[in-house]
Structure 1
Amino acid sequence: MLTLTRRRGDVGRVFLAGILALLCCISPARAEDGHDLWLRYAPVGPSKVEGYRSALGNVVAPDRTPTQRVAREELRRGVAGLLGSEPRFRASPAGDAALVLGTPTSAPWLAPLVHELEGLGDEGYLLRRTRLDGRDALVVAARRDIGVLYGVFHLLRLVQAGASLDGLDVSEVPRVKLRLLNHWDNLDGYVERGYAGASLWDWHTLPGWEDPRYTDYARANASIGINGTVLNNVNADALSLSPAYLRKAAALADVFRPYGIRVYLSARFSAPMELGGLDTADPLNPDVRQWWRTKAEEIYALIPDFGGFLVKANSEGQPGPQDYGRTHADGANLLADALAPHGGVVMWRAFVYAHDVPEDRAKQAYNEFVGLDGAFRDNVVVQVKNGPIDFQPREPFHPLFGAMPRTPLMMEFQITKEYLGFATHLVYLGPLYEEVLRADTHARGPGSTVARVVDGSLESHALSGIAGVANIGDDRTWSGSHFDQANWYAFGRLAWNPNQSARDIAVDWVAMTFSPAPDVVAPIVAMMMGSREAAVDYMTPLGLHHLMARGHHYGPGPWVVGGPRADWTSVYYHRADRDGIGFDRGTRGSDAVSQYAPAVARTLDDLAQVPDTLLLWFHHVPWQHRLHSGRPLWGELVHRYTRGVAYVERMQATWEGLRGKIDAPRHAHVAAFLRIQRDEAHWWRDASVAYFQSINGLPLPAGEAPPPHPLAYYQSLQFPYAPGDGR
């Protein structure tokens, strides 16, 4: 029992002891709040410590440049966390030094590797067990400092996964030149289609205060090879190009530069009018051209390695060259000419809407851009979404891939899950990315994959790129959930090498994020690999698309009709009636199939050959049409809705089986989100079945549970403050 007559010093000591005890209790939970991402550097198993320590304990590494110092610090941080002891840094490989970092310039003892390193370009690296000065050594070597940093991250990834370093011989070169995140962040801190809180960028306190999270962000991106970031929304505010905001962007560029990350900005096409006081933004007007040249000079004076502009023009109300009777090429070339003297690029988005509702929205980008092939400057890359509509759970690959051989095309993926359950649904996007990248365009015969278009190898383009719409905010998890971090990670790895395996990437991510133990890795990877297909099943099976509620895209809305544009409604896309369902894009319909190479078009146009996964994307099919499963369409549709729900319930059971193998805070967080996903998957299934049954009047297939509520109930639900909608 405590006495009330303790002396003041005793009370202070008791209070301090209590605080320390409290900190000891809460520190593990705080350490596992998701902030460390896949860079946790959790201690390796005791049996491996000494082996790794002998390879990593003594290090030769230069520290004369910012990037060299970053590489040393990352290695120090990694080794200390993984092995429990700090590495000893040496000035030369004499003595017992076992790990050597550097370039032939910064570490002269790597000179014997100079010819081999020449083939690795500016960002490639070599990891190798070799002999240096007659001694065994592990080498991380590259032509440039940034390659060394990438190599350090690769080495630490191997250690986190428990891989052996014996006989190590790895040579890596990025396949894609521009590997960028696109942030749809507004200057007021709101993130369009963001589900992880407010913007990471605190524009109000920049440039005076550089939040430490900016450095954490740069580390995370460098660890997966991302080398650029577009700071602001494609629905751009001209103020982003004003002097005050350029100084803020320059402060971020200074933080990111040692990590090999260039800053880009989304440019509003009408900025010469809004900032410069001109009465036109016509790309052929001499005053407009001069304004952009002057603006480019201003930017490069502040940010010497500025990457360039991303532009959304003449789409969803954004201004563009078509306002003046000019083409997309005219608009892009205006900016390209201004950036060219400084080495900058223009990424011109092909996501466009006509002012009038087109016959088929899926055809519009192809119709507007394919005739401009070869009309763009050499420093322009056309940025194309993975599919022809808008980041749907499943789409065919965009027909522009393979259709513009004289123009570099840059892939645009979405990492944030605007149409895939936001942050609360566990949907690993690696399989989606892989599916698109491996799709064969047949542009130059079999093997003309989308990946080969994007990496430039199909047409020998020097300029290549992949962009991902970021899912990053100020949430401690960065992405709004622990598993959404995997999509950021998978994007970066596939941007580096589009031919990698989504499953292998998932294995690495799980090992680093949760545990390398096989009884943890195997079940989690199994969950992840089927999660995207499950979401397709319970949201948009068999090629259905754009069935989400209006505006915020939260939850099912297959009944959505009316409004300013038909192609903003669900009924425009599914076209369900008493006789059948699906959008006829075959040669007897909108003929969108003919935008693909003949070999692809023939398959998609033929009901007997088109994959069931894309059936209703390309065909209006009777409800009784037999699918490859042997079921009639209606039976298969309901079956897939139910199958998707069942998969989520199996994910719940798998995750529950991992209790005690995952730290309690993260286990509880994921379990709660899986409950949300299960409830919303049921909602999707039941609302969709109720709606389509009201259209076709058919009984439910035997064994299928009826929706628990009438259709009117689902139609009455309203969510005016669902997150992520545009303002």
Structure 2
Amino acid sequence: MRLLTFFAVFGLALAETGLDGWLRYAPLPASISWPSVPKHIVVLNTTKTSPVYTAGQELQRGIQNILGQSCHFSSGKPDESIIVGTLDAYVSTYGNISQSVDLKDEGFWLSTENNIVQIVGQNERGALYGAFEYLSMLAQANFSSVAYASNPDAPIRWVNQWDNLDGSIERGYGGASIFFSNGTIVNNLTRVAEYARLLASVGINAVVINNVNANASILSPQNIDGLGRIADTMRPYGVQVGLSLYFASPTSGVQGQANLTTFDPLDPQVITWWGNVTDQIYERVPDLAGYLVKASSEGQPGPITYNRTLAQGANLFAKALQPHGGRVLFRAFVYNQLNESDWKADRANAAVDFFKPLDGEFDENVVVQIKYGPIDFQVREPASPLFANLFHTNAAIELEVTQEYLGQQTHLVYLPPLWNTVLDFDMRIDNKTSLVRDIIAGRTFNRSLGGYAAVVNVGTNQTWLGSHLSMANCYAYGRLAWNPTEDTTKIHEDWSRLTFGLDQNVVDTITHMALESWPAYENYSGNLGIQTLTDILYTHFGPNPQSQDNNGWGQWTRADHTTMGMDRTVSNGTGYSGTYPPEVAAMYENIESTPDNLLLWFHHVNYTQKLKSGKTVIQHFYDAHYAGAETAQTFAQQWQTLAGKIDRQRFDEQLYQLRYQAGHSIVWRDAIVNFYHNISGIADESGRVGNHPHRIEAESMTLNGYIPYAVSPPETASDYYAVVTNENSTTGSVSTTLHFPSGTYDIGVNFYDMYGGISQYEMLINNKTIASWTGDSENYLGHTPSIYLDGHSARRITFADIEVKEGDILEILGIPNGIEPAPLDYIVFLQKGVLD
């Protein structure tokens, strides 16, 4: 233990994988002194599967690792002990707590006064939450004397996994499923237990283990038994399991279940079928949290197939669950393909159109799960108006920890500030304060259920999400679901201390990067409310602004040669603004009162429309994209200042990703500013767009074994062309004479790192090798790969401090592999402090 403390003091961090997340329980440095902590733990339930017993074990483990102090279970007097249990058990054993304690469902009381630590939960789950809270204090060297009650803001605090039975994960960027493989539930559930521990530590009480685009075979007897094994594994942590259901399962011939010819939710046979299946599941999993249902959307079957309402579809499952105490989370993500030529058509209207007329028709154990914005997890959206249109229906907000449209864990984006724009939004219902967080907690409309669901999509990668820094979003989700008024900066500081240690410079640096990350990403990916200008037709990762329009998906920008933006006004557009309560509707209806950061969401304007800043829309686009990419260049630099203060493995892995983001942010910047420059014909006042004097285009160099290639979309290549080897078995080369002044340069190379091959590259100056690299990001990045030369595979790598002389001969050799033809876009020579 003294050895570990020695390393902690002198900054020689030991190797870590990230598997423990924020529950590392790292030893406190010897430089910190702390008061005595009780050496006895009194556990008021010794049943091994009880969350109270788990809390006692966690306290033993944590105190041993953090303080180097052994604690023993005791059944003796409470003096100088840590007592953990339910309120009922505590009162039965010791009498009333000396102070008045107001505990709501799953809340806890934590007191560290008078050499006694009281961790008392309203139920067993609450006691475990209190134990994790106490350990979080100790791990952050916080030995304050406290006595307080903490209660969750809402009863539903779920996570959704989009895991498929074959082991893949839709929108998963952290490896394969921890739950499924080859159509069944995995045998080894070690990672499932570790995941339950992480979830419980931040107050998450349920996890839906399979994809909302569900497979009927999840209901086979073998998988129901497997579900039971998962529930048994997670139960000691107080985490319940839930299932996503395929609406047409009765007709799917599920092994072990009767096969019907209909899935009509009002058909008596169907009602009986789901009742029988639900009874079978509860026989194996008596504490099942319930069901999650996606229906009648994106090709999924649902009640609309039989001209039934969505409420009738939801109530089918609600009635099957009601005797067991289960809940249905029914997704409001329902929309149809649209005709863009119809000026009034608007996917953003879909949730209100479908669900508002059904308000009051859902059973009491149904919760409508509403995405935070009306489209689909975009970089900025207005709060969904559906929150203000369900007066008699339970509602939960759906967030996304997995960064589907937001960099897919390869870009640093700290999401809670984005979530706060919705949670703190005032809907002004009946001209009264009506915050979204109060609506979903049930306070505004006096509803019994409601709360939070987040798509998390952890995988078998040791970082869980595919990136060490992205785990802050998972941690913060739990913290905000428990208390949405918490300061997101403080949350990140706590996470940083728990994850990377107590060095204040480490905490400050990582938190500073995090707080800059969402504004930077919004700047270089899509701003003024235009949505994330990603490729919506392929992987949702790289830039492709033209993919937004001319299709039926409804994520339109309506960009043409003179104008852009959606007209969502009542007076002239889709009428979306009118779906909000009157005060909010009036704000968005008027272009003068609409916030600039949502201007293009609500209004169709000329590129020369002036913003409140005085800039035109198009000039703001240019400036913002350059500013965002410039900020992204600083993340790796800031991270590098922490060398030696973070263990080498996590430091190197995260540095790789931050350098990748620096290069890819420029790919984003160039693709979008070039697209809007080309479509508008309006020059950048600063002369940057289309002007790259520091670059050498690969197609302009002497080519040997390479040929030019027209990239699609064209804006994802500098000057629209790249070069590829003309045979995938032969090394190619590009070469040129340098005409830059002699000096020291950072040399950047833009190339394409496609899935399906690992090309090798070598850069030479005057026949001397100065750098080599491989196109192997598929081995290091978890984002969905691309088999094309496009904005997803485009990548920029930089080599620092290279001495060159005017007249030197530069050559790059490319060795293709598999389907990857060693593609090259351009080479850029930059002096220090210059960003092209």
Fold-level similarity (TM above 0.5): yes
2:564 pairs with 1:581: yes
Out of 622, 625, 631, which is 2:609 matched to? Answer: 625
In 2: Cα distance, 1:352 partner to 1:725 partner:
28
Out of 546, 550, 553, which is 2:540 matched to? Answer: 553
User: Who is 2:16 aligned against?
Assistant: 32
In 1: Cα distance, 2:674 partner to 2:529 partner:
19
User: Who is 1:209 aligned against?
Assistant: 187
| Matched position secondary structure for 2:276 | helix
Q: CA deviation at 1:432?
A: 1.2
Q: CA deviation at 1:462?
A: 1.0
User: Who is 2:122 aligned against?
Assistant: 143
User: Who is 1:694 aligned against?
Assistant: 678
Q: Which has the higher strand share?
A: 2
Q: CA deviation at 1:456?
A: 0.8
In 2: Cα distance, 1:617 partner to 1:208 partner:
44
In 1: Cα distance, 2:184 partner to 2:14 partner:
27
User: Who is 2:793 aligned against?
Assistant: none
2:136 pairs with 1:157: yes
Q: CA deviation at 1:465?
A: 2.3
Q: CA deviation at 1:670?
A: 1.2
User: Structure 2: 5+ residue runs without aligned partners?
Assistant: 1-11, 698-710, 721-751, 757-777, 787-836
| Matched position secondary structure for 2:473 | helix
In 2: Cα distance, 1:411 partner to 1:266 partner:
17
In 2: Cα distance, 1:228 partner to 1:199 partner:
17
Mean Cα deviation higher: 266-275 or 572-581: 572-581
User: Who is 2:86 aligned against?
Assistant: 103
Out of 422, 436, 446, which is 1:450 matched to? Answer: 436
User: Who is 2:703 aligned against?
Assistant: none
Q: Report the AA paired with residue 406 of structure 1.
A: H
2:288 pairs with 1:288: no
In 1: Cα distance, 2:32 partner to 2:659 partner:
38
Q: CA deviation at 1:713?
A: 5.3
In 1: Cα distance, 2:383 partner to 2:390 partner:
14
Q: CA deviation at 1:725?
A: 8.7
1:419-498 alignment, distance < 5 Å? 419-498=405-484
2:243 pairs with 1:268: no
1:501-580 alignment, distance < 5 Å? 501-549=487-535, 550-560=537-547, 565-567=551-553, 573-580=556-563
In 2: Cα distance, 1:625 partner to 1:456 partner:
41
Q: CA deviation at 1:357?
A: 4.3
User: Who is 1:596 aligned against?
Assistant: 580
| Matched position secondary structure for 1:141 | strand
1:370-381 alignment, distance < 5 Å? 370-381=356-367
User: Who is 2:801 aligned against?
Assistant: none
Out of 620, 625, 630, which is 1:641 matched to? Answer: 625
Out of 202, 208, 222, which is 2:200 matched to? Answer: 222
| Matched position secondary structure for 1:190 | coil
1:49-198 alignment, distance < 5 Å? 49-51=33-35, 54-65=36-47, 66=49, 67-93=51-77, 97-107=80-90, 108-113=92-97, 116-117=100-101, 119-130=102-113, 136-166=115-145, 168-198=146-176
Go from structure 1 to structure 2 and tell me whether the alpha carbon gap of 1:348 and 1:473 turns closer, same or farther (over 3 Å shift).
same
| Matched position secondary structure for 2:329 | strand
CA contact (8 A) 1:56 1:79 kept: no
Identity %: 38
CA contact (8 A) 2:675 2:715 kept: no
User: Who is 2:298 aligned against?
Assistant: 316
Number of aligned residue pairs: 686
Q: Report the AA paired with residue 285 of structure 2.
A: I
Deviation by residue 1:250-300 (Cα, 9 ceiling, x = unmatched): 100001111111110001110111133111111111111111111111111
Q: Report the AA paired with residue 582 of structure 1.
A: G
Q: Report the AA paired with residue 296 of structure 2.
A: N
In 2: Cα distance, 1:562 partner to 1:616 partner:
14
User: Who is 1:10 aligned against?
Assistant: none
Q: Report the AA paired with residue 673 of structure 1.
A: Q
TM-score between the two structures when normalised by the length of structure 2: 0.79
| Matched position secondary structure for 2:408 | coil
User: Who is 1:18 aligned against?
Assistant: none
CA contact (8 A) 1:203 1:248 kept: no
Q: CA deviation at 1:592?
A: 0.7
| Matched position secondary structure for 1:264 | strand
In 2: Cα distance, 1:463 partner to 1:724 partner:
36
Q: Report the AA paired with residue 560 of structure 1.
A: S
Q: CA deviation at 1:92?
A: 2.0
Go from structure 1 to structure 2 and tell me whether the alpha carbon gap of 1:218 and 1:622 turns closer, same or farther (over 3 Å shift).
same
Q: Report the AA paired with residue 20 of structure 2.
A: D
In 2: Cα distance, 1:612 partner to 1:278 partner:
54
Deviation by residue 1:299-355 (Cα, 9 ceiling, x = unmatched): 111100011110000101000000001000010111111111111111111101225
Deviation by residue 1:110-147 (Cα, 9 ceiling, x = unmatched): 42129944x3133111111345xxxx412111232221
In 2: Cα distance, 1:655 partner to 1:445 partner:
47
Q: Report the AA paired with residue 137 of structure 2.
A: L
Q: CA deviation at 1:576?
A: 1.5
In 1: Cα distance, 2:24 partner to 2:753 partner:
40
| Matched position secondary structure for 1:400 | helix
Q: Report the AA paired with residue 282 of structure 2.
A: Y
In 2: Cα distance, 1:213 partner to 1:29 partner:
25
Go from structure 1 to structure 2 and tell me whether the alpha carbon gap of 1:561 and 1:99 turns closer, same or farther (over 3 Å shift).
closer
| Matched position secondary structure for 2:95 | helix
In 1: Cα distance, 2:165 partner to 2:630 partner:
42
Deviation by residue 1:650-688 (Cα, 9 ceiling, x = unmatched): 222211211122222111111110111111110111000
Q: CA deviation at 1:515?
A: 1.6
CA contact (8 A) 1:655 1:671 kept: yes
User: Who is 1:402 aligned against?
Assistant: 388
Cα RMSD for the two superposed structures: 2.3
TM-score between the two structures when normalised by the length of structure 1: 0.90
Go from structure 1 to structure 2 and tell me whether the alpha carbon gap of 1:114 and 1:637 turns closer, same or farther (over 3 Å shift).
same
In 2: Cα distance, 1:639 partner to 1:607 partner:
22
Mean Cα deviation higher: 709-718 or 56-65: 709-718
In 2: Cα distance, 1:529 partner to 1:668 partner:
22
Q: Report the AA paired with residue 138 of structure 2.
A: V
CA contact (8 A) 1:471 1:488 kept: no
User: Structure 1: 5+ residue runs without aligned partners?
Assistant: 1-27
| Matched position secondary structure for 1:384 | strand
Q: Report the AA paired with residue 439 of structure 1.
A: F
Q: CA deviation at 1:439?
A: 0.8
Q: Report the AA paired with residue 264 of structure 2.
A: D
Q: CA deviation at 1:446?
A: 3.9
In 1: Cα distance, 2:715 partner to 2:123 partner:
62
CA contact (8 A) 2:166 2:183 kept: no
Q: CA deviation at 1:577?
A: 1.7
Deviation by residue 1:561-595 (Cα, 9 ceiling, x = unmatched): 788x4326xxx611122222111111211121001
Q: Report the AA paired with residue 347 of structure 2.
A: R
2:319 pairs with 1:337: yes
Q: CA deviation at 1:159?
A: 1.2
In 1: Cα distance, 2:691 partner to 2:219 partner:
52
CA contact (8 A) 2:549 2:558 kept: no
Q: Which has the higher helix share?
A: 1
CA contact (8 A) 2:565 2:605 kept: yes
Q: Report the AA paired with residue 144 of structure 2.
A: L
In 2: Cα distance, 1:302 partner to 1:249 partner:
8
Q: Report the AA paired with residue 561 of structure 2.
A: R
In 1: Cα distance, 2:562 partner to 2:243 partner:
49
| Matched position secondary structure for 1:401 | helix
Q: CA deviation at 1:102?
A: 2.1
Q: Report the AA paired with residue 106 of structure 2.
A: E
